[in-house]
Structure 1
Amino acid sequence: MKRLYRFLLSHSSLIFKGFLFLVSVVIVVYFFPREGKFRYEFQKGKPWMHDVLIAPYDFPIYKSEARLAAEKDSILKDFRPYFVFDSTIMSVQLPRFNDHFDEVWGQFVAETYGVEDTFSLPAYSSLLREINSKRTEYREKGKFWLEYVYSKGIVSVPEVFNRVNNPEDMIVVMKGKVAENVDYKQVFTQKEAYEYIIEQVRELYGEEGEQEEAFRFFLDLDLDQFIEPNLSYDDVTTNRVMQSMIENISLTEGMVQQGVRIISRGELVGDYEYRVLESLKIEYEKRIGAMANRFMILAGQFLLVFVAFAVIFLFLLNFRKEILQNYLKISFILFLVVLFVVISALSLKYTRISIYIIPLTILPIMIRTFYDARLALFIHLVTTLVIGFLAPNAFEFVFLSIMAGIVAIFSLTNTYRRGKLFLSALLIILTYILVYSGIGIIHEGDIRQIEGINYLWFAGNGGLILLTYPLIYLFEKVFGFLSDATLIELSDTNQPLLRKLAEKAPGSFQHSLQVANLAEAAATKIGANTLLVRAGALYHDIGKMESPIYFIENQNNGVNPHDNMEFEESARVIIGHVQKGVEIARKHNLPVQLIDFIRTHHGTTKVQYFYRSYIRKYPENMVETNKFSYPGPKPFSREMAILMMADSVEAASRSMKDVTRESLHNLVDQILDYQVNEGQFDNADITFRDIRIIREILKERLANIYHARIEYPND
């Protein structure tokens, strides 16, 4: 048990990194579809590229989505909404009508015949009979017309317009348990019902002459107050019947018998063949999913994804080991890969948008921004291949994505220039269009047959690429990276910390500027990160602000405080500027990458002047070299190594009295040889060829700087 514990403890870093990769594999596999993937690729109107296909079993021919949608639209178009007939409305309104009729009739008789009570006029029996006859007639007519409009049905106006599509529609009226189809034109609104009754009065009695009193009486009756809607829309029944009719739509339209030849190699996939092939694909995936081999599908997916991530791991192990040693850097790469695979899987599963709208080229752009082009290309290739298992027309998708990714990597060399990103987006769109058009012409033989909608997806893809800038800023903060834009911002000499350095230690500031120029020139020649090395050079001596007078470049009045100090104390002060610089940098929230330049710009070298002075003065004493040595660490990147060389050479050149081209060359050779022999660059990924190039650049630039002081031979 102890042995196992010691093994786990000693290999904890590797185990945790393996765990990160395993978690990424599990997440990706989780979002993979569990259905088996149909082995054949095919497209409508294109030749069948496989061997002759024979139906392996009986299967139905499924209707196309367009056909099903058309049938559904037809049902919805002809569907008759349901209304409930309420007979109680009329039962309530007719008694009200009778009471109101008697009241209005009394007033009508008094105004028309000049009497108040028709039942107290025995002298006018003939007139009485006429009045009673009209009362009975008018009451029966009013009641009949009300009963008629109620029997036809009265609806409120909004319900008519909201539920009925056009005047030719039919509706279904539910009277108890009986459903009756009713023509929409026969149903009244409240306004139409009243207008119908008035029209009947007009036709029967007229508006003038002897019958004018009848027309006036019915107007006075104000029958509109007894007309209420008795048809109400039945939302529950309507939706239930509609849903039932839609569910009863047949999904199939025929069968294919086992053993029937479906298509042969070279035949065009026409409409019928396409529907048969799609039906076979659906049936195949159903059968695979219904069988007890879902576990096998899952195992196959896990194996494929595991191999893909293992390839990424091996690439980093062999070519970018420094990334594999950093948890945040590994997490960032794995996060991007998982993110784009998951987005693609969810898009294909839950949406109808094309997979080409997903800006997959953001992945290589991000990795190119924070790492390098080779790693960006490799990660993009692996991610594209994994997504290819999900995408329809996998070869077309993979080829298009790889071409677009390559263009993205090589067109966006400087992400800090906004115009570059816009130009890169245009080039990516153009690449998609050209490659897709080429594939389409090969398959279709005619550019007019290509699906034009995909060009819109490509344009949307290019537009989404412009999200790269805010994403770069976000990932910088989350994962602790440095983008080119941030480095340029930090390299601005108007930054508060640099202005403070210029005020408190002007000599050190000028020295930093010269070192930055030398380091940038060297980095350019060997292909290192020029922006990073320049920013590191500008901040590498900020620790001298605490005690600027102790550094010779800031001693303008001829007073040197080291003259009155012991050599060990002087060395301690000089060495201390490194730790003070780290403290100042952290206080001002400088990125850790720049702090590393401060820590490593002297490596583990000695403060040679005070070290040698101590030996000369105390030759009999044992020298404690740690008192005269910088704590390190040694530079562990090319950029840090460049800064160490440029800093040492520039500082030493300032103390030269007799400056000639030869003396400058000797100085550079002497300093760089010493640093190499001391093993200061052992931890940096820098080659002897790089050092040779840097050596020549430093000689050339120093000669240019001291040009006016160099004495040339007379000949």
Structure 2
Amino acid sequence: MSDLVNKLYRNHSLIYKGLLFIFSTFLIVYLFPKTGKFKYNFERGKPWQSENLYAPFNFAIKKSNEEIAAEKKTISDHSTLFFAVDSAIENEVNDLFESQFKIAFSDSIPKLKRNILFKAGERIINELYALGVLSENYNFPENKTVVILEDRIEKHTAKFADLINQEEVSSMINRVLIEEKLSDYKTEFTSLFFDLIQPNLTYDKSFTEKVLNEDLNKIAYTRGSIEKETLIISKGEIVEGNKYQVLESLKSEYESQVWNASNYNWILFAYTLLVSLALLMLLLFLRKYRLEVFENNTKVTFIFFNIFLMVFITTLVVNYSSEYIYVVPICILPLIFKAFFDARLGLFAHVITVLLLGSIVPNSYEYMFLQIIAGIVTILTVSELYKRANLFISVGQITLIYIIAYFAFFVIHEGSVETLKWETFIWFILCGLATLFVQPLIYIYEKLFGLVSDVSLLELSDTNSKLLKELSNKAPGTFHHSLNVANLAESCANEVGANAMLIRVGALYHDIGKMKNPTYFIENQSTGINPHDELHSKESARIIIEHVILGIEIAKKYNLPDRVIDFIRTHHGTSMVYYFYIKEKELKPEVDRSEFMYPGPKPFSKETAILMMCDSVEAASKSLKDPTSTKIDTFVESIISKQIDEGQFLNANITFKEIQSIKKVLKHKLANIYHLRIEYPE
């Protein structure tokens, strides 16, 4: 049992990656469509490239979206409006008219005239309420058919223009009075009916919409059908008109038909195979070409998480409306991976992600072409992401590539630009703007996953930071030494293609442990008094060696990234404090070497190896007396050769050719520091 536990513990990293691989595969497959995919590709106006196609089953020919939209518009245009009438209002107005008429027209008017006036008033009321008076001014076409309902029972049918709104009441009164030749009484009648007339027609919106929806639901979405084994299209035939609609109907029917349990399981299995193959290729790439990333579970999790996130966001957008598919800023992915890792890994992961998305999005070939080209442009153009101008320029270039590629595909499909919807380009502009979100996203990822980007390294390289200011105050000599080492290391890194920004930051912080006991290090001894004169050799060696451990503690206290702490931990490797070792050996022959040896580890990257060389050369160069080019060359060769002989670079991925280039840079830089002239032969 204990052997099994030990074996599991030894392989826990691989087990974690296996579980991560399985979990990611199933999550992505869960987001994929669970139907079959039509195996033929076709485009309107292009020849049918496959073999003769016969109907695999009976299916109906679906109407095009344009046909359905036209039918819906026709039904809406000819729909009926329903108004509810309140008959009690007319009776109430008639009763009030009889009582108010006597008040409005005095008894001095002859009886015959009063009867004529009374009948004219009754005619006005009858004509006003023949259909009814609208409660408000509705903005409907005049030729719309109107049905007037009383208690939900049809009472009248008319045109909307026949209904009277409240603004037309006055003109109606005037017309009747003119016809009755009673214009002299216009003021009295207008005053009388101003208070009497009440609207009795109300628009029944809910009932109107209900009837309209019932009519719309009666629309047939198909026209005709195709029998099984019927020839649909022959090879070479142009896909257009009815042929195109039949093919679209077959594709839609094939992808939307109800699948039985067996088919459903096979589709899931096939999708799982495709997704697992894609993710496996990514893991194999990391295993072969990015071993340091592969061995770091946090970094592998970070890569898988970002791929899943892009698939998830794209799926949400496609499910909502595939029209907005190009708003999703896929190019954020290579930007993030390039910021934290390198361009090659960023491009490989981007291509894998786009291949996965090809099973989700419509027009998959067009989509994959655009996104892969955009990803390549992103990798090629974005350099020094921490510079804001570079990011804006690159986003502009990415957006331009999207627009050009989309325009080319549209012309190929349609054959002209007449039907091009220029507003589509807005989605690409929005995508470019969304890509700018990469900066805050990088900051969030740094905090969540403990990674370090060039943006953070730039901030750490500021010599006005709190920790470096403290170093310059407490140990000014060490601070000056660190600056010199940073300059040397940066030049060497540029020469051999290492991460110059990372190595510069590592050099600035590599000796911060000397702040605890600054006077015990010769570069800080400005008074000429050496405290080591009062100490035993072992004690002196312990204090010197201890600055590495103290540096790590200070770095963790100030939350420096692990990648920077690695430089503190490895800049002396497992070398010895030779001065005190020799001094101790002079006193007694048998000396324990481990007491004078740095704890390590040895440098395990190109950058940490470069820092060890630069640190040793810069520190020892202070002891050079009357330096010449020959002395400097011999001096650099001897120091680095000694480190090679001690095996300090065995764990670092650095070649002899690169070491030779570093030596050359160091010799040149030291010659410039000491202002040496070329030595001419005598």
Please tell me the TM-score bracket, short chain as reference. Answer: over 0.9
- Aligned-pair distance for 1:288? 5.3
- Aligned-pair distance for 1:529? 0.3
Contact 1:56–1:258 (CA under 8 A) maintained in structure 2: yes
Amino acid at match of 1:368: K
- Aligned-pair distance for 1:584? 2.7
Match of 1:218 among 174, 189, 195: 189
2:240 is the alignment partner of 1:241: no
Output the CA distance in 2 between the equivalents of 1:250 and 1:525: 72
Superposed CA offset, 1:214-233 (max 9, x none) = 4454245x212222221112
2:596 is the alignment partner of 1:628: yes
Map of 2:142 onto structure 1: 167
Map of 2:654 onto structure 1: 686
- Aligned-pair distance for 1:198? 4.0
Amino acid at match of 1:378: F
Which secondary structure does the structure 2 equivalent of 1:232 belong to?
A: strand
Amino acid at match of 1:55: A
Map of 1:431 onto structure 2: 401
Which secondary structure does the structure 1 equivalent of 2:360 belong to?
A: coil
Aligned length: 681
2:166 is the alignment partner of 1:196: no
Deviates more, 1:288-297 or 1:145-154: 288-297
2:225 is the alignment partner of 1:255: yes
Map of 2:151 onto structure 1: 176
Output the CA distance in 1 between the equivalents of 2:261 and 2:231: 25
Superposed CA offset, 1:58-101 (max 9, x none) = 22111111221222122222222221112122233332333333
Which secondary structure does the structure 1 equivalent of 2:323 belong to?
A: coil
Output the CA distance in 1 between the equivalents of 2:406 and 2:36: 28
1:9-20 map, 5 Å: 9-20=9-20
Output the CA distance in 2 between the equivalents of 1:461 and 1:50: 36
CA spacing shift, 1:319–1:349, aligned 2, 3 Å: same
Contact 2:38–2:254 (CA under 8 A) maintained in structure 1: yes
- Aligned-pair distance for 1:148? 3.0
2:322 is the alignment partner of 1:314: no
Deviates more, 1:392-401 or 1:133-142: 133-142
Output the CA distance in 1 between the equivalents of 2:188 and 2:493: 107
Output the CA distance in 1 between the equivalents of 2:250 and 2:496: 59
Output the CA distance in 1 between the equivalents of 2:512 and 2:661: 28
Deviates more, 1:428-437 or 1:573-582: 428-437
Output the CA distance in 2 between the equivalents of 1:283 and 1:615: 90
Map of 1:116 onto structure 2: none
User: Structure 1 regions of 5+ residues with no counterpart?
Assistant: 114-129
Superposed CA offset, 1:421-469 (max 9, x none) = 2332333344345545555666666677877666554444334333333
Match of 1:607 among 567, 573, 577: 577
Superposed CA offset, 1:623-655 (max 9, x none) = 2x3432223332222111111111011111112
Map of 2:41 onto structure 1: 41
Root mean square deviation, CA, Å? 2.6
Map of 1:508 onto structure 2: 478
TM-score (norm 1): 0.89
> Identity, % of aligned pairs?
43
Contact 2:571–2:603 (CA under 8 A) maintained in structure 1: yes
Contact 2:173–2:190 (CA under 8 A) maintained in structure 1: no
CA spacing shift, 1:328–1:586, aligned 2, 3 Å: same
Instruction: Give the greater-gyration-radius structure (CA).
Output: 1
Output the CA distance in 1 between the equivalents of 2:348 and 2:466: 40
Which secondary structure does the structure 2 equivalent of 1:366 belong to?
A: helix
Superposed CA offset, 1:335-385 (max 9, x none) = 221122222222222214253333322211211121112111211121111
Amino acid at match of 1:197: I
Map of 1:125 onto structure 2: none
Output the CA distance in 2 between the equivalents of 1:531 and 1:341: 33
Map of 2:315 onto structure 1: 345
2:679 is the alignment partner of 1:700: no
Map of 2:525 onto structure 1: 555
Map of 1:401 onto structure 2: 371
Match of 2:606 among 633, 638, 642: 638
Output the CA distance in 1 between the equivalents of 2:559 and 2:99: 91
Output the CA distance in 2 between the equivalents of 1:567 and 1:373: 50
Amino acid at match of 1:18: G
Which secondary structure does the structure 2 equivalent of 1:262 belong to?
A: strand
2:41 is the alignment partner of 1:73: no
TM-score (norm 2): 0.93
- Aligned-pair distance for 1:305? 0.8
Contact 2:63–2:222 (CA under 8 A) maintained in structure 1: yes
Deviates more, 1:561-570 or 1:82-91: 82-91
Map of 1:662 onto structure 2: 630
CA spacing shift, 1:439–1:26, aligned 2, 3 Å: same
Map of 1:206 onto structure 2: 182
2:555 is the alignment partner of 1:580: no
Output the CA distance in 1 between the equivalents of 2:474 and 2:195: 95
CA spacing shift, 1:91–1:679, aligned 2, 3 Å: farther
Amino acid at match of 2:167: K
Amino acid at match of 2:333: L
Match of 2:561 among 586, 591, 598: 591
Which secondary structure does the structure 1 equivalent of 2:57 belong to?
A: coil
- Aligned-pair distance for 1:20? 2.0
Map of 1:152 onto structure 2: 131
Contact 2:521–2:544 (CA under 8 A) maintained in structure 1: yes
Which secondary structure does the structure 1 equivalent of 2:225 belong to?
A: strand
Superposed CA offset, 1:195-218 (max 9, x none) = 4134313431433xxxx3x44542
Amino acid at match of 1:255: S
Amino acid at match of 2:588: Y
CA spacing shift, 1:49–1:358, aligned 2, 3 Å: farther
Amino acid at match of 2:670: L
User: Structure 2 regions of 5+ residues with no counterpart?
Assistant: none
Contact 1:539–1:598 (CA under 8 A) maintained in structure 2: yes
Map of 2:617 onto structure 1: 649
- Aligned-pair distance for 1:527? 0.7
Which secondary structure does the structure 1 equivalent of 2:366 belong to?
A: helix
Map of 1:228 onto structure 2: 198
